[in-house]
Amino acid sequence: MSLSSTSPQPLDPAPATAEPRLYRVGTLTYTRSRLFQVVFWMLCGDFIFTLLQCMPTITPLLLRWQGASDTLIGLVSGSLFSVVAILWFPIIATRSDRHRGRLGRRRPYLLWFTPPVLLSLVLLGATKPAGIWLHRVLSTLGASSVTVAGCSIAWITAGIVIFWLFNAYIVQCWACLVPDVIPPEVMGKFSGLYRAIGAFGSLAFNRWALGYAEAYTFHLFLLVGLLFAGTFTVIIWNVKEGEYPPPPPPAPGGRLGAIKEYFQTCFRHPFYLNFFSVTFFFWASLVPLGFVIFFGTSAGAPGYAPTIGLSLQEFGEVRGWTFVVQMAVFFVVGIFADRYHPLRVAAAGMLLTALSYFCCFWFVTDKRTLLLWFSVNQGATAIYLAAAMAMAPRLLPRERYGQFVSANLILGMVGMIFAPPLIGWLLQRIGDYRYVFLFCGVLTALALVALLTLLAQWEKLGGDRNFTPPDPVLRLPAPAAES
């Protein structure tokens, strides 16, 4: 017997096993199952976050039940938020960008400021008994001219100010946590799901919670506050942040130097100015939309052109169907944003939104046509909103992300501050609420121009293959040396 016949045969090589796909964002690495867990917790947070942000919509009702004037309601419910946003948000965003700690740079602020937000909700919910108690205390001290209604209004104002100040930390850090923990390659799909869950949260609040606001004010505020505090505590425990590079050195000159650096960094480069311009015009386009209820119902002003004349219930049915359309669009648009880039999808959504506004202006004549064209419009708007959420993490510098998000919000707020008096003046001159669709279309078209300009700049800066966020500080060429 030969040696070759008795020697062991070589074993066949083991079949190669496919490596599990890994997803990375910064220093974080996820398996598919771990990514699903993170997405699940972030979407749960989105639903509760939406409920939390719906609570200030009850403030005008709290004030109206105490006999507050429209001017005071507008001041407390709207102007206070704009002031807080413009003055406070940049400070918060810059702090969180620069913070380094065991929990990361966003989660510490979510953890620290959840209790004050919960406290502010409890204070607002206790308005009725608190107003009576405050009136009794002041009367005992000799303030005989105060009324229960005046004390209640003062209590509401103090409560909403506390809410705006501390909720600003939640809003900013929650928005900035998303790109820190969600990988870029799935950001489009996540954004679509995020927007859909948020729309469902708004629908759930208006459908099942708002009706209890008057009879069960304290219970509603307390329930939403406890849901928020409990859910966000669990999320902070289950969603981890990665490691961050050291923050840039502080600006020389103390606070004034920091303010100067903030504006020079955010509002100097034309690429970011175009990015902010999109938000400025788009947010301004939302202002005329608030008057659509006057066109759709019989609540139009005397002397104006005839309206459609629906009842509030009929108009509510139309508005409810537009939420359903938006949720369906949100679920699918993220796939296209990941495949074709959010910037391109956002431009398509903005174009369709502008065209649909003009179609509303031309073709809406009754409930059926309002339902058709307003649903088309809100579906197109959903395309832009989902893509825009995925667009920001792809275009803004990661190391200063919170700072640029706050600057974008400031420009949006400026648009919403100047648009209302202009739109109101135009409507008084024209006397026809149908023109709100035209105003929305024109402002959306201006946002589309800014967005197309941004798209051209993005292509010039590398596009799909080589784009990196440009240095936000323009560096001028050094002067030539004299011979």
Residue range 161-176, pLDDT digits in tens? 999 999 999 999 999 9
Is pLDDT above 50 for 4? no
Instruction: Tell me the domain boundaries of the chain.
Output: 22-243, 253-462
pLDDT, tens digit, 9 for 90 and up, residues 105-118: 999 999 999 999 99
For 22-243, CATH gives: 1.20.1250.20
Q: Which CATH architecture has domain 253-462?
A: Up-down Bundle (1.20)
pLDDT, tens digit, 9 for 90 and up, residues 370-421: 999 999 999 999 999 999 999 999 999 988 899 999 999 888 888 777 787 7
Domain 253-462 in the same topology as domain 22-243: yes
Q: Residue 62: is it exposed, middle or buried by C-beta count within 10 angstroms (0-12/13-18/19+)?
A: buried
Q: What's the pLDDT at 349?
A: 96
pLDDT, tens digit, 9 for 90 and up, residues 50-76: 999 989 888 888 988 898 876 787 778
Q: What's the pLDDT at 5?
A: 43
